[in-house]
Amino acid sequence: MSEYLARYFNEKKMADAWVIIQDDFVNATLSTLYITLVSTLLAILIGLPLGILLVTGDAKGIRPLPRWLMSVLNWIINLLRSAPFIILIVLLMPFTRMLLGSAVGDAGVIVPLVIAAFPFVARLVEGSLRELNPNIIEMAQSSGANTWQTVFHVMLPECVPSLITAFTTAITTILGYTAMSGAVGGGGLGNLAIAQGQQRSNHAVLLSALVILVILVQVLQTFGTWLARKADKRLKNK
Amino acid sequence: MIEICNLSKSFVTAGGTVDALRNVNLTIRDGDIYGIIGMSGAGKSTLVRCINMLERPTEGTVLLDGADLGMLDKKKMQEMRHHITMIFQSFNLLMQRNCLQNIMLPLRLIHMPKDQAVKRASELLETVGMSDKAKAYPAQLSGGQQQRIAIARALATDPKVLLCDEATSALDPKTTHDILSLIRSINEELGITVIIITHQMSVVQEICNRVAILENGTVVEEGDVSDVFSNPKAAATKRLVYPDMAEGIDSLGAAHHQMVRLVFQGAGAATRPLLASMAIDCNIAANILSATTRTLNGKVYGTMLLNIPGGPDDLARAVQYLSQTPDVSIQVEMEYPMQQAEKAGGNAAEGKEADER
């Protein structure tokens, strides 16, 4: 133990760490938040409609789509979800370069992150919407709602609390993924922790970065849970 | 007017084809409160969903004022559902929307401007006696209150027909009565035709003017409630109208196989001491197995289930004597089994002694 402390937390390491914390941590934290928020927003932008489609287009949904089309959609989602993120980053580099002109830096990590996260968001949305009482859908249909109206006047508003919970799960998961941004030269706390902590054996930096990541996840999760509870009108005594 | 012609509906399941409805024919006139009653699994829910095409009939047609609802395209069908609205056993309110917003839902679907929709929804809240709950959420309301909001929502688009799918089955008797009174006043004041699906005879009795009895997907009896209740013909109807037949009477055994049911129509028929005079005039002492009175459309009906002891001769004499009385109808419930005449005669005497003890 003392050997470990002497090796990683000696006076020089601590001095180095303090410099790094002062110089880089604010930028790294902002970078992490930027990558996380933009990726989550884009993943929801693609994943939400896709999740709706998975439910409404189902054979028993309100607007069944051809079976082959649903099979293809499900297959693509499963395929993207089964690829490890670090492999996805590498595979998608040509695509990212085509899209943004460059495959490195913060923007370079956002593209693969969105590609990895939107199928996950679609599945979360699908799960939320399937939880909705089918009697409510029947009520909408019996009131003369068309597909569009059923989705926007009934399904989505009724699922707001569970969608908030789902998006909270998505954002915390995506925050974890940002640690791999270093692979393509992206910034962020995760990258800093790996670059300084692992590769230069500065565990003080690694642990400090970890503490901030933990705080970020806790704050996001607490906020999400609070928001979902606040939005839920089924809870009587608030 | 709604005409249901030769309607059949079958579902294909893993276990084969299930015929939920077979060749149903019904006519529901404007202004009717029409009851469709049956045990669970009789096909009532499927039938009501065929009326607004939530279920597509396999065969047959549903006509609303002569227009075939099955021929409507998607858009026309959605428009039709603003004229034939529905309330449910589980109310099906939007739990994340307050009462006012719930009532506004159908109005938003027809793109009514918001200020007009708020005005209309507020009027409807008043109609159902819930003005003070405009901002309340369904979770804060009782079942009866939720159903009132659901009724207001169903009335929003000024429908011609209101379908009630077991609308009171989740409510206690007092609340059921209140909701039925509300539905009746809607029928009378707004002239909305009401179709009520239920398994509760008391609901039909309280509110309907016409009734159809559904069993195994077929209509076994149909007519004015007063006729059907005072003189039920089909076995399924008798089971519903006279639940006493099912409970207990059978277990009395052969002793009571000479049963006669008397129906007194109107209060006047009940003024004569009929059984006492039969005992004096014919020397037949009838055994009363059950007796009830009920009110249908303001008219009092009494029914009495009698056991006539003795042989078939006594039964015939009793039937003849009783049927001479005005405003009393008589049905022999179970014919005397001839081959067991002597044995059953002995049992009948025993049964009577048992009753006296």
Residue scoring higher pLDDT (A136 or B304): A136
What pLDDT score was predicted for residue B115? Answer: 96
Q: Which residues contact B285 (CB under 8 A, 6 or more apart)?
A: B279, B309
Flag whether pLDDT at B352 surpasses 60: no
pLDDT in tens, A71-98: 999 999 999 999 888 888 888 888 988 8
Decide if A79 is inside a domain: yes
Give yes or no for residue B341 having a pLDDT over 80.
no
* Measured distance CA(B157)–CA(B138) in Å, rounded: 21
pLDDT of residue B322: 84
Q: Secondary structure of B19-36 in the HEC alphabet?
A: EEEEEEEEEECCCCEEEE
Per CB-CB distance under 8 Å, the chain B contacts of A236 are 139-140
**Cα–Cα distance measured from residue A167 to residue A223, given in angstroms and rounded to the nearest whole number:** 12
Q: Is residue A237 part of a domain?
A: no
Q: Which residues lie closer than 8 Å to B39 by C-beta, 6 or more apart?
A: B199, B215, B236
Instruction: Enumerate long-range contacts of A200-206, CB under 8 Å, 24 or more apart.
Output: A201/A7, A201/A8, A201/A13, A202/A8, A202/A13, A202/A16, A202/A17, A202/A20, A203/A8, A203/A9, A203/A13, A204/A8, A204/A9, A204/A13, A204/A14, A204/A17, A205/A16, A205/A17, A205/A20, A205/A21
User: Which residue of B52, B98, B108 is in closest CB contact with A142?
Assistant: B52
**Mean pLDDT score of chain B:** 86
How far apart (Å, rounded) are the C-alpha atoms in residues A193 and A172? Answer: 18
pLDDT score of B344 more than 80: no
Please say whether the beta carbons of A182 and A194 come within 8 A.
Answer: yes
B287 or B97, higher pLDDT = B97
Whose CA is closest to B29, among B1, B57, B52? B1
CA angle B213, B215, B221 (to 5 degrees): 35
Among candidates A149, A157, A236 on the partner chain, residue whose Cβ is nearest the Cβ of B109: A149
What does the alpha-carbon distance between residue A217 and residue A168 come to, in Å, rounded to a whole number?
10
3-state secondary structure of B81: coil
Element (H, E) at B165: strand B161-165
Given this model, what pLDDT does residue A19 score? 80
On the question of pLDDT at B342 being above 50, the answer is no
Q: Phi and psi dihedrals of A9, rounded to 5?
A: -125, 30
pLDDT value of residue B354: 38
Those of residues 196-235 in A touching chain B at CB distance below 8 A are 231-235
pLDDT at B334: 61
The secondary element (H helix, E strand) that includes residue B161 is strand B161-165
Q: Is the pLDDT of residue B254 over 50?
A: no
Show me where the domains of chain B are located.
2-235, 242-356
Could A142 and B79 be called an inter-chain contact, meaning their C-beta atoms sit closer than 8 Å? no
**CB A144 to CB B140 under 8 A?**
no
Q: What is the pLDDT of residue B68?
A: 95
The two three-digit tokens of residue A169, written as one number: 């799960």
Contacts of B52 in chain A (CB under 8 A): 142
**Which chain B residues are Cβ-neighbours of A62 within 8 angstroms?**
none
Q: Measured between alpha carbons, how far is B357 from B344 in angstroms, rounded to an integer?
A: 20
Q: Please state the three-class secondary structure of chain A as a single string.
A: CHHHHHHHCCHHHHHHHHHHHHHHHHHHHHHHHHHHHHHHHHHHHHHHHHHHHHHHCCCCCCCCCCHHHHHHHHHHHHHHHHCCHHHHHHHHHHHHHHHHCCCCHHHHHHHHHHHHHHHHHHHHHHHHHHCCCHHHHHHHHHCCCCHHHHHHHHHHHHHHHHHHHHHHHHHHHHHHHHHHHHHHCCCCHHHHHHHHHHCCCCHHHHHHHHHHHHHHHHHHHHHHHHHHHHHCCCCCCC
What global pTM score does this model have?
0.83
- Indicate the residue of B54, B75, B94 with minimum beta-carbon distance to A141: B54
Q: Domain containing A162: what range?
A: 2-231
Reported CATH class of domain B2-235? alpha beta
What is the pLDDT at residue B253? 52
Counting residues of chain B whose pLDDT is more than 90, the rounded percentage is 59
Question: In angstroms, rounded to a whole number, what is the distance separating the alpha carbons of residues B192 and B206?
Answer: 18
Q: Domain for residue A67, yes or no?
A: yes
Smallest CA–CA separation between A234 and chain B, in Å?
Answer: 5
CATH of the domain at A28: 1.10.3720.10
Beta carbons of B85 and A161 less than 8 Å apart:
no
**Yes or no, beta carbons of B79 and A234 under 8 Å apart:** no
**CB-closest option in B92, B109, B153 to A136:** B92
User: How many domains does chain A contain in total?
Assistant: 1
Task: Specify the pLDDT at position B270.
Answer: 66
Average pLDDT of span A50-63: 95
Does A154 contact B94 at a Cβ distance shorter than 8 Å?
Answer: yes
- Report CB contact under 8 Å: A145, B109: yes
Mean pLDDT of all residues in chain A? 90
Are A236 and B96 inside 8 Å of each other by CB? Answer: no
Which of A128, A132, A133, A139 would you mutate first to test chain B, the one with the most B CBs within 10 A?
Answer: A139
Sort out which chain B residues have CB atoms less than 8 A from A154's CB and list them: 94, 105
Give contacts of A 13-42 with B, CB under 8 A: none
Would you call B45 helix, strand, or coil by DSSP?
A: helix
Q: Which of these ranges, A14-23, B181-190, B221-230, has the smallest mean pLDDT?
A: A14-23
> Is any Cβ of chain B less than 8 angstroms from the Cβ of A238?
no
Burial class from Cβ neighbours inside 10 Å (0-12, 13-18, 19+) for residue A138 reads: middle
**Superfamily name with CATH number, domain B242-356:** ACT domain (3.30.70.260)
Q: Which of A227, A233, A234, A235 to mutate to test binding with chain B, by most B CBs within 10 Å of its CB?
A: A233
